[in-house]
Amino acid sequence: MTNADLQAVSDLTAEQLHLNLNPKVEVHEVQKGRVRPKTGKVTIPNWALSRGEPYVIAYVIHEVCHYKFMGHGQNFRTCEMSALKPWGLFPIYSRAYIKELRQGSVNGPTLYKRPKRA
């Protein structure tokens, strides 16, 4: 996905969530993503791009949802699930983060599965 594609995901998500800003997406060589409310930016780690389009879309959506809810509680998950739905993505969670993405519903085909740690 290009930077323009990532920005389009952010813009559409911000609109769907009725945010008062469109967070600017930046890709950097970092360990994990980050949201910076003071600057209106989100950072996506470069390694995430290699995990495929569904994963990258979900990653951008995850970070943008933090502009609505900062933690990973039930309100955040509800927001994230709602924002993923128009993209045809259904998350399966492991603690705070998505471990699997399925197409459309819990019974849909798997689009992404987090690799097991060595």
Q: What does residue 73 show for φ and ψ, rounded to 5 degrees? A: -75, -170
Higher pLDDT: 96 or 36? It is 36
Residues 6+ apart with CB under 8 A from 102: 89, 90, 91, 92, 108, 109, 110, 111
- Other beta carbons within 10 angstroms of residue 93's beta carbon come to 13
pLDDT-based confidence at residue 16 (cuts at 50, 70, 90): very high
Does domain 3-88 fall into CATH 3.30.365.10?
Answer: no
65-76 tens-digit pLDDT: 999 999 899 999
What's the predicted TM-score (pTM) here? 0.93
Provide mean pLDDT across the span 11-40. Answer: 95
Q: What is the DSSP secondary structure assignment for residue 92, as one 8-state letter?
A: E
Average pLDDT, the chain: 94
Greatest alpha-carbon pair distance for the chain in Å reads 42
Any bridge partners for residue 102, and if so which?
90, 110
pLDDT-based confidence at residue 116 (cuts at 50, 70, 90): confident
**83-87: Cβ within 8 A, 24+ apart:** 83/13, 83/16, 83/17, 84/57, 84/58, 86/12, 86/16, 87/54, 87/57, 87/58, 87/61
50-64 tens-digit pLDDT: 999 999 999 999 999
